[in-house]
Amino acid sequence: MLATTAAALVAALLALAPTPGHAATLIIDGYDFSEYPPADQPPPINATWNAKYDIASINLPNVPVKNPLNSVEEPPCPLTSATCDWTCFNCTRPTDDVACKDHNTWALSYDDGPSEYTVPILEALNKIGAKATFCILGSRALAHPAILRRVYDAGHQICVHTWSHRFLTTQTNEQIVAEFEWTLRIIQQVTGARPLYARPPFGDIDDRVRAVFAKMNLVPLLWNRDTFDWKLASANSGFDAKWVTGNFTNWIATAGSTSTGFMSLEHDLYPQSAGQALPALDLVSKAGYKLQTASQCIGTNPYLSVVSVPIPVVVPVVGSNTSPVGALPTGRSAGNSGNTNAAAARSPVLSVLAGCVLAVLAVHAL
Backbone angles phi, psi at 189, to 5 degrees: -65, -40
Q: Can you list the alpha helix ranges (DSSP code H) found in the chain?
A: 2-16, 47-52, 86-89, 118-128, 138-143, 145-153, 173-191, 207-215, 242-253, 271-286, 294-298, 324-327, 342-346, 348-365
Q: Which does 243 bind (CB under 5 to 8 A by kind): Zn ion, ligand NAG, none?
A: ligand NAG
What residues pair up with 32 in beta bridges, in sequence order?
27
Interacting span for ligand NAG (CB under 6 A) from 45-53, 106-114, 122-130, 328-336? 45-53
Q: Which does 112 bind (CB under 5 to 8 A by kind): Zn ion, ligand NAG, none?
A: Zn ion
Q: Which is nearer to Zn ion, 84 or 269 (CB)?
A: 269
Backbone angles phi, psi at 86, to 5 degrees: -75, -45
How many Å apart are CA 59 and CA 124, to the nearest integer?
A: 46
* 250 belongs to the binding site for ligand NAG (CB under 6 A): yes
Asked if 6 and 309 touch (Cβ cutoff 8 Å), the reply is no
Q: Which is nearer to Zn ion, 265 or 327 (CB)?
A: 265
Q: Which does 228 bind (CB under 5 to 8 A by kind): ligand NAG, Zn ion, none?
A: ligand NAG
Q: Which is nearer to ligand NAG, 49 or 192 (CB)?
A: 49
How many Å apart are CA 184 and CA 161, to the nearest integer?
A: 9
* 268 belongs to the binding site for Zn ion (CB under 5 A): no
Interacting span for ligand NAG (CB under 6 A) from 66-74, 145-153, 240-248, 326-334? 240-248
Q: Applying CB under 6 A, which of residues 228, 275, 287, 361 lies at the interface with ligand NAG?
A: 228
User: Site map for Zn ion, 182-211, x if CB under 5 A?
Assistant: -------------------x----------
Q: Which is nearer to ligand NAG, 34 or 90 (CB)?
A: 90
How many Å apart are CA 60 and CA 43, to the nearest integer?
A: 24
Q: Applying CB under 5 A, which of residues 96, 112, 206, 229 lies at the interface with Zn ion?
A: 112
Asked if 82 and 267 touch (Cβ cutoff 8 Å), the reply is no
Interacting span for ligand NAG (CB under 6 A) from 110-118, 158-166, 245-253, 255-263? 245-253
* 243 belongs to the binding site for ligand NAG (CB under 6 A): yes
Residue type, 269: L
